[in-house]
Amino acid sequence: MTPSSNLWQQRVVKIVDGTTLSMPDTPANQKRWPQSNSQKEGCGFPLIRLVGLFSLASGALLQTLTDTFFSNENNLFEGLFECLEAGDVLLADRNFCSYSNLSLLLRKKLDAVMRMHQSRPADFRKGQALGKNHRLIRWQKPTKKPRAMSQEQFEQLPPHLTLRMLRLYISAPGFRTRKILLVTTLLDTNLYPPEALAELYRRRWGVELFFRHIKTTMKMEVLRCKSPAMVQRELAMHWIAYNLVRTLMLEASICYHVTLDRISFKGTVDTLRQWAPIIARTQGKPKRRSTLINALLWVIATDQVPLRPNRREPRAVKRRPKAFPLLNQPRHRMKDIPHRDKFYSRRAKKARLN
């Protein structure tokens, strides 16, 4: 149970986002999850398109849906509606910002805060002025039906939507984006002022860290199983392990009054790996086990990350890859593979001549 102090404006906020995963190149995996068209036959890897729904307050993974790389994230997103409860606030990036999605959310008595899609024009001369860079606007129902929506569903959409539109300017050093356009169904300017909405969308970056913890820290970026059935089991085990770690972090923050964002996910994973064998040997000794679990939570709570607001985290890799030629055709066809020293010296000589 998430404490009320972790809620936003006494509202439950859930974040949706998508990612992709790779796996071994086997015929069964390729048939179920084909590789990208940009990859040559025999040189690529099967790819999964995944959309996940997270709790902003605890970081727990609530639900996931998967499909092939060629599927649309918005189609998968509709399958997550059953995990949203009336009164929730959905936080999403501009990929999910569409008339149909906002209409379906409002029909289920849900609210949303999203970045405006880049294809939709933002005219601050229209609508009702609520303040500087702040408007009450009305979106008209599109004339063309979305591909993934049936004609019956399209006809059930309302003729218009009343939304708030905000323009935010970011001056923090290291932030790539300088201007953000937000739209929201939260129309009460007193309960949800622009500053609160701006801070909420800033926290959307947390979902990127959630996926990084799962894919990088827990080694799920490249799956290992060679059959679709085992890949599904591998995904389920990663979700269970991730939520177990999140549960321990939440319990530690509640028991020892520590801010949840200050507890290290990587530190919790390492601590759990060290303590799990010791706790397992206390079977049949409930008092001893309870003592060890309390000590485990104390260690987790004291392993805090430094307070670094607006920290710059560029997406760059420090460790260099090994200097080998790329496999640009199936391995059994590559008969003459030059030694890496000759390969790179030849390429450097060619670059100098050009």
Same structural domain, 295 and 208: no
Same structural domain, 178 and 272: no
Give, for 142, the enclosing helix (H) or strand (E): none
Q: What is the pLDDT along the chain (354 residues), one digit of tens a residue?
A: 566 667 898 899 999 999 999 999 999 999 999 999 888 888 889 999 999 999 999 999 999 999 999 998 988 998 898 889 999 999 999 999 999 999 999 999 999 999 999 888 888 888 889 988 899 999 999 888 887 788 888 888 999 999 999 998 876 665 555 788 999 999 999 999 999 999 899 888 888 889 999 999 998 989 999 999 999 999 999 999 999 999 999 999 999 999 998 999 999 999 999 999 999 999 889 999 999 999 999 999 998 988 776 666 667 888 887 777 777 777 777 766 666 555 555 565 566 555
Under DSSP, is residue 162 helix (H, G, I), strand (E, B) or coil? strand
CA–CA gap between residue 51 and residue 14 (Å, rounded)? 13
Same structural domain, 169 and 126: yes
Looking at residue 352, what is its pLDDT?
54
Name the pTM for this structure. Answer: 0.86
Same structural domain, 246 and 272: yes
Same structural domain, 208 and 241: no
Same structural domain, 85 and 13: yes
Looking at residue 58, what is its pLDDT?
92
Q: Tell me whether residue 325 is in a domain.
A: no
Q: Tell me whether residue 343 is in a domain.
A: no
Is residue 340 a contact partner of residue 325, using CB atoms and an 8 Å limit?
yes
Looking at residue 45, what is its pLDDT?
93
Q: Tell me whether residue 161 is in a domain.
A: yes
Sign of the dihedral defined by the CA atoms of residues 295, 290, 62, 240, in that order = positive
Looking at residue 121, what is its pLDDT?
85
Same structural domain, 185 and 36: yes
In Å, the largest CA–CA distance within the chain is 75
CA–CA gap between residue 151 and residue 161 (Å, rounded)? 19
Same structural domain, 151 and 282: no
Domain that holds residue 50: 7-212
Split into its structural domains, the chain has a count of 2
Same structural domain, 242 and 152: no
CA–CA gap between residue 140 and residue 134 (Å, rounded)? 19
Is residue 164 a contact partner of residue 134, using CB atoms and an 8 Å limit?
yes
